[in-house]
Amino acid sequence: MMQRSARVFTCLALAFMAIVRAQAPAPAGQGRPSAKQGPEARAARAYQAAVRQGAPALRAFLEGVPKGADLHAHLSGAVYAETFLREAGEDGLCVDPTALRLAQPPCTGQLLPAVQLSGNITAANQALYNRLIDAFSMRGFVPSSGWSGHDQFFAAFGRFSGLGRTHIPEWVDEIASRAAAQNNQYLELMETPPFVHATLLAHQIGWSADLEQADPQAFAGLRRQLLDKGLRAEVAAGLDDARRAEDGRKQRERCGTPQAAPACQVEVRYLYQVLRGNAPEHVFAQTLLAFETVEASMDAKDDLWVGINFVAPEDGLVAMRDYTLQMKMIGFLHSVYPNVPIALHAGELAFGLVPPEGLRFHIRQAVELGHAERIGHGVDLMEEDDPNGLLKELAQKHVMIEINLSSNEAILGVKGAEHPFPIYRAAKVPVALSTDDEGVSRIDLTHEYVRAALDYHLSYADLKQLARTGMEHDFLPGASLWARPDDFAAPAKACEREALGGDTPSAACKAFLDGSEKAAAQWELERRFRAFEAKF
């Protein structure tokens, strides 16, 4: 009897296991049986072999993987400190060896000429040079009592400020060249063009109680006053700022000549960043100028300015005090300029950095009041009111989260299982990796891919989805290559029968690609995947 029962149990167990196997999804990265021997499957096996060998081998593999876009990158924060020190010497600036920062001439008293750090280097100069690199970045940083990673990170920007805007083309070239070396094809760089005139106008007009209540009519009146007093005069300066940056970097890269640098193949666009730590009238004026500048760029078919963002520490006194007010400002201006794309820093906070009540609403308000299409960071997700409801809303609205793993650890101390990255992925919220400030963090986008792959056990298919998601949510104009948002299985009708990324698309598909910068860039990503996977 016992033997018979054991046989029955064994048969039932085997049947159950067979059902489980039949219903289980294929391992990540595997496609249909007919594709198992194809280039993608071979690349996936090579990836897994690199994972087993460890981080150095994985980095070597991932450096060549097409990464699509870096959508969350601050222009000045993406430049390495060595560049700033060399340029300081060229410009005749000084360095303060005590404060460890750049200073304007004359180089008297304790101030030293920065050029000394690029000439005949003495032991003392080398020691100072090393300290300046550390002060301008997170290199070698160890938190101490009263000085956190958050403090070090944001203090770095004030230390290397003072260089002229004439260096911006060189900075863009450096960032684009680094992107090209990693098979990254598209950048959206956050930058703040001059806005002195807008600030002066805002100061003259001032702020009032009805504005404090975020009354739409009051916002409309303030907008009209600013425009009537000539705020649009600075729009042309903003357009010229981006055009000089692009023309200058392409000249450095010899684009359009037989000696063109690989960086010429990297598309660069700009997000107008608004400083959220200023007085409300100044924030409104600069935000208005941002919307006007991006719309003017779009109307001129220039397309260099493709969206706006709010920047500066989210935990700052003014940023916390005025957060809801600022989201309502953006919401009002969105109603006037509905075609201007919006990405917002939100949820770059952690428990203990601000009071608990300050963690409950930033991401949701950025989406519901500020109409953000992308959220930068989103780290305090699970501290928000009704986080599961928020996740559903983000997924349904296809709001993408820009994931910045290294800066989140440096600034907030959040890493590994503490980070909501896997929670977003499990809830089908679109996510993509980005660098934030690769110069300050001393990283690059490949580093973030390595980190994500190892910390979260990602498959090769997962990495492809991250890259495709970034290109799906860039702010390039035009229709997507994909028929449905964030569904990378079904191309748009015009290209549905094509070999994606092929060299000879049909006439209908080519016409579709020619009419959409976004779809053309997505096609290029698929071409790069084909080329990369063919190596295996």
**Is 254 contained in some domain?**
no
Enumerate long-range contacts of 446-451, CB under 8 Å, 24 or more apart: 446/59, 446/62, 446/63, 446/67, 446/182, 447/59, 447/406, 448/403, 448/404, 448/405, 448/406, 449/62, 449/65, 449/67, 450/55, 450/58, 450/59, 450/62, 451/405, 451/406
Give me the DSSP letters along 406-475: HHHHHHH---GGGSSHHHHHHTT--EEE--BSHHHHT--HHHHHHHHHHHHT--HHHHHHHHHHHHHTS-
Instruction: Determine the pLDDT at residue 514.
Output: 97
Report helix angle 445-456 to 460-472, nearest 10: 130
Q: Which amino acid is at 331?
A: G
Average pLDDT over residues 392-399: 98
User: Does one domain contain both 207 and 90?
Assistant: no
Instruction: Determine the pLDDT at residue 36.
Output: 55
**Is 159 contained in some domain?**
no
Ranges of beta strands (E only) in 225-361 are 267-275, 305-311, 343-346
User: Does one domain contain both 462 and 499?
Assistant: no
Out of 444, 476, 508, a domain closes at 476
**Is 163 contained in some domain?**
no
Please count the other Cβ atoms lying within 10 Å of the Cβ belonging to residue 11.
Answer: 10
Per the structure, the complete domain to which residue 492 belongs is given by 35-53+477-536
Instruction: Determine the pLDDT at residue 65.
Output: 98
Does the pLDDT value for residue 243 go beyond 50? yes
User: Does one domain contain both 319 and 212?
Assistant: yes
Q: Classify residue 155 as exposed, middle or buried by CB count within 10 Å of its CB (0-12, 13-18, 19+).
A: middle
Instruction: Determine the pLDDT at residue 61.
Output: 98
Secondary structure class of 14 (helix, strand, coil): helix
Does the pLDDT value for residue 390 go beyond 60? yes
**Is 175 contained in some domain?**
no
Residue 483: both structure tokens together: 């028929």
Rounded-to-integer distance, Cα 295 and Cα 315, Å: 30
Instruction: Determine the pLDDT at residue 19.
Output: 36
Query: Cis ω on the peptide bond leading into residue 106 (within 30° of 0)?
Result: yes
Percent of the chain exceeding pLDDT 70 equals 93
Distance of CA 370 to the CA centre of its chain: 18
Task: Write out pLDDT tens, residues 270-290.
Answer: 999 999 999 999 999 999 999
Does the pLDDT value for residue 295 go beyond 80? yes
Percent of the chain exceeding pLDDT 90 equals 90
Does the pLDDT value for residue 16 go beyond 80? no
pLDDT mean across residues, the chain: 93
DSSP state of 312: S
The pLDDT confidence band at residue 535, using thresholds 50, 70 and 90, is very high
Average pLDDT over residues 494-516: 96
Return the residue matching tokens 């190596």.
Answer: 535
The pLDDT confidence band at residue 37, using thresholds 50, 70 and 90, is confident
Task: Write out pLDDT tens, residues 72-90.
Answer: 999 999 999 999 999 999 9
74, containing H or E segment: strand 68-74
Instruction: Determine the pLDDT at residue 7.
Output: 43
User: Does one domain contain both 227 and 273?
Assistant: yes
Count structural domains, the chain: 3
User: Does one domain contain both 123 and 215?
Assistant: no
Does the pLDDT value for residue 1 go beyond 50? no
Average pLDDT over residues 361-383: 98
Residue 320: both structure tokens together: 């916390």
User: Does one domain contain both 504 and 460?
Assistant: no
Average pLDDT over residues 214-218: 96
**Is 26 contained in some domain?**
no
Query: Could you list the active site residues?
Result: 348
Instruction: Determine the pLDDT at residue 20.
Output: 35
Instruction: Determine the pLDDT at residue 6.
Output: 41
Rounded-to-integer distance, Cα 132 and Cα 94, Å: 12
Does the pLDDT value for residue 193 go beyond 90? yes
* Domain CATH number, residue 227: 3.20.20.140
Return the residue matching tokens 């410009």.
Answer: 91
Out of 450, 476, 502, a domain closes at 476
Task: Write out pLDDT tens, residues 441-471.
Answer: 999 999 999 999 999 999 999 999 999 999 9
Distances (CA, A) of 138 to 26, 97, 134, 175: 41, 18, 6, 18
User: Does one domain contain both 514 and 459?
Assistant: no
